[in-house]
Amino acid sequence: MASNLDTLVTVFGGSGFLGRSVVRALCKRDYRVRVAVRRPELAGYLQPLGRVGQVHNVQANLRYPASVEAALRDSHVVINLVGVLTEGGAQTFDAVQAKGAETVAKAAAAAGAQLVHVSAIGADAQSPSRYARAKAAGEAAVLAAVPAATIFRPSVMFGPEDQFTNRFAALARMSPVLPLIGGETKMQPVYVGDVASAIADAADGKAKAGATYELGGPEVLSMREIIEAILEITDRKRMLVPLSFGLARFQANFLQFAPGAFKLTPDQVTLLERDNVVSEAAKAAGLTLEGLGITPDSLEAIAPQYLWRFRAAGQFQRMSV
């Protein structure tokens, strides 16, 4: 039997939040992993995830087709994880998530490689959100170039390096009051490790070709419930002040220029107006984590393992503040 070490997997965006978990999962299954990123010299932390020589970083930018073609040369499997939560300079939603996805798909088709593309629940060509429209355009371009591609749409992901639970925990450490936008909007938080396992399963050939999977955690929670859970885990008592979408969008016109955890864009507010959960159609078709044989981990089970650092006394003592 051939070893997975004979299989080269190129991961675009492998240095990001999801990327490092995907690289780790692939290494555990003995694949050779080529990580294609804009700044490979800054992705050295990926090397220890595999054995010596198993992970190799190369330079590529989705806005430059020649670099993409060079990065996936001789690849058996291509995984595209590249996405942006906010736009900046030339890194627009359309350039990265639509045209960039098309560039990767066309190069994968030319190379005859298997393609796995990561999108997002909420991808919709008719969405008022530019982020969601770009995701939908990317999916369409991928399937046009590689009809057998497997697409994964995760709900909001959480994990040690996320920009979701860590963001709210950081805000709670700095402010006695937290704004609540879309408090009743439903989400299905999914652990990044489970999403990575699904992607690795696709590399193994266990996912359906040409199918679109929707990946969510075991619980559907409102935004209010999620923030309350984060406050409980970090042992913080904070006042939640509901904001209307109109007021939140007005504030986002200014906060889009803010640093760190305070940053909020009008498009992010628009995304919060719609639920972000696995559809009944995906469940019925078995196009879910459970359909792949993966039992998803809950926010309650995983988040305390890394959010303890936001407690007033760290991991050694729980105390209300």
Question: What pLDDT shows up at residue 316?
Answer: 60
Question: What pLDDT shows up at residue 319?
Answer: 44
The string of pLDDT tens digits covering residues 285-318 is: 999 999 999 999 999 999 999 999 999 877 665 5
Over residues 114-137, the mean pLDDT reads 97
Question: What pLDDT shows up at residue 258?
Answer: 87
* Cβ(179)–Cβ(132) below 8 Å: no
The string of pLDDT tens digits covering residues 246-281 is: 999 999 999 998 887 788 999 999 999 999 999 999
Residue 15 CA to residue 47 CA, distance in Å, equals 11
Residue whose structure tokens are 């749409």:
153
